[in-house]
Amino acid sequence: MSLVVIGGGSTYCPELFYRIAKSKVLPGKIKTVVLYDVDKQRAEIVGSFCRKMLEAESVGIEIKVTDDPSEAFEGAEIVFNMMRAGAMEGRFGDEMIPLKYKLIGQETMGLGGFRLLRRQIEALRGILPYIPQGVKFFNFANPANMLSMALCQMAGDKLDFALGLCNIPFGIRMEITRVLRDQRPELQGLSDAEIVKDVQIDSVGVNHLTFFRNFRFRGEDVTEQVMRFLTNPPANFDAKNVEDISAYLGIVEEHGIFPNWYWRYRQEPVKHAEDLIYKGSEQSRAWIVRQWEIAQLKTYKNPDQPLDDILASLLERGGAGYALMAVEALEGILTDSGARLIVNVRNVRPDGRAYIPWLPTDAFIEVPCFMHDTGPVIDWAMDTSLPSEFSQAVRREVLSQNQFTRAQLTGDRTKELIALQCHPLIGGVAGAEACRAIQGDLDTMVQGLPPLVV
């Protein structure tokens, strides 16, 4: 079986290979992994290090590196999309341009997300003709729900299936794992990967605009226990998002739901934009990650650096954990296990009706699905209702996102402008008139990011 990674020069790739190597299932099924990247030199650095890692684990998967799409996708059966069109320079603009209009500078949502989507769609247009019929497509790239929607509309029936993945639902499961380990002596000595498989949560909404509830461990409802612990943790407990959880305590107590970390941007968009403006470009996420990329690629090239030290450093970057989640999903699909995971899929039932009735059927939603060899199957039994103030907020943003996505596919600049004006984090903050200038800045690049010198 051949797996192709689009954006194979990603510094996330070694963690992915490490998790594949540790899997009890995948080394026996995957024979070849192709790292496809327009920056072949960077992908060669990553590929060389991944070969070293697989050799250390005695895993005989062949790794190929190419910048030729006709070569990359020949015989492909599985595709992982980890592409960031425009690289970190594009992300720098996605974070800096919105601040010009006192909007949130964030690459996955609002204006930054729309800018990134334009580049991602254009890049996918050039790749899709080379992808064989019947491929299983896993999308890790941002903005996850809009890009998954665009991919399916461009690909038609070419793909066996497409699903999108985000590490935030998985990250919440990991937080629950740490809480349970702290409180339950019988879990001492078990790894995170062993415990997290038995942790389940429900999710309603779309990528980075989801609401979680019903935390369970081996069938037992642990919601109250986990939330009580995390909002008042002991001093020696290490959880990355405790402050965010505490800020949402009122929502949890009143409604019994926990918002995605990104909900804070919707609560106080002006304040968060002002905070980002105050921090300046050198504290932007793009700037920080660029420095991390340089250091990491240099480390990959260093033959004397211990493998364990390198793998530990991967967890310092935002988005860490994607690999464990990706392997969990791929194992479920290839073994037809029925594992229940939260993924991004189209909001449609077999009879054509919407699964989440207050969202359109062409939207990609982030909900629990069972992993089968035919693709992800939505957990139809889950409650999809939300209090009206939250469901209306999700719907407003989704309608704008879908309008903008369709405009990119058709080239309709009028509908594109309307989508900008109707988006609560763009027109809803800057005003409808400012959106004409914003539209003119959708492709503007920003200079000043340190070059990628390795």
What mean pLDDT, rounded, does the chain reach? 91
Dihedral of alpha carbons 269, 272, 274, 277, sign: negative
369: nearest Cα among 397, 351, 346, 353: 346
- CA separation for the pair 307, 315 (Å, rounded): 14
**Token pair listed for 438:** 């914003």
**Residue 207 or 312, more confident:** 207
Q: 347 near 167, Cβ under 8 Å?
A: no
Angle at 164 between CA 412 and CA 2, to 5 degrees: 110
Task: DSSP letter for 66, please.
Answer: E
Nearest Cα to 330, choosing from 55, 24, 13, 49? 24
Annotate 216-240 with DSSP letters as a single string: EETTEE-HHHHHHHHHS--TT---T
What percent of the chain is predicted at pLDDT more than 70? Answer: 95
CB 205 within 8 A of CB 266: no
Question: Comparing 58-67, 275-284, 438-447, which segment has the lowest mean pLDDT?
Answer: 275-284
Q: What is the DSSP letter of 141?
A: P
Query: Dihedrals φ, ψ of 295, to 5°?
Result: -60, -40
pLDDT, mean of residues 92-106? 95
The Cα 97–Cα 102 span in angstroms is 9
> Of the CATH numbers 3.50.50.60, 3.40.710.10, 3.40.50.720, 3.40.50.1370, which one belongs to the domain with range 2-166+286-378?
3.40.50.720
Of residues 136 and 228, more confidently modeled:
136
CA distance 171 to 318: 11
User: Which of 111, 124, 149 is CA-nearest to residue 365?
Assistant: 149
Nearest C-alpha neighbor of 399 from the set 415, 383, 380: 415
- Tokens representing 5 are 């990674």
pLDDT band at 246 (very low <50, low <70, confident <90, very high): low
Could you tell me the pLDDT band of residue 21, with boundaries at 50, 70 and 90?
very high
Residue 379 contacts residue 121 (beta carbons within 8 Å): no
For the segment 288-296, the average pLDDT, to the nearest whole number, is 92
| pLDDT over threshold 70, residue 289 | yes
Mean pLDDT score, 348-363: 96
If pLDDT is split at 50, 70 and 90, which confidence band does 252 have? confident
Locate CATH 3.40.50.720 in the chain.
2-166+286-378
Residue 311 has pLDDT above 90, yes or no: no
Provide CB contacts within 8 A for 271, sequence distance 6+. none
Query: How far apart are alpha carbons 168 and 276 in whole angstroms?
Result: 22
Q: What are phi and psi of 159, to 5 degrees?
A: -90, 145
Residue 8 banded pLDDT, cuts 50, 70, 90: very high
Look at residue 238 and tell me whether its pLDDT is greater than 90.
Answer: no
Of 7-21, 111-125, 248-262, 390-404, the range with the lowest mean pLDDT is: 248-262
Say if residue 362's pLDDT is above 70: yes
pLDDT for 317 equals 59
pLDDT recorded at residue 139: 95
Structure tokens at 85: 């069109």
Tokens, residue 443 = 């492709």
Task: Please give the helix or strand (H or E) that residue 85 lies within, else none.
Answer: none
Q: Can you tell me the distance from the alpha carbon of 454 to that of 436, in angstroms, rounded to the nearest whole number?
A: 40
Number of neighbouring beta carbons within 10 Å of residue 319: 16
- Residue 234: per-residue pLDDT: 62
Residue with tokens 């327009």: 38
What pLDDT is recorded for position 224?
84
Tokens encoding 409: 């596919």
Q: How confident is the model at residue 371 (pLDDT cuts 50, 70, 90)?
A: very high
pLDDT digits (tens, 9 = 90+) for 63-88: 999 999 999 999 999 999 999 999 99
Token pair, residue 186, equals 């019988």
pLDDT of amino acid 80? 97
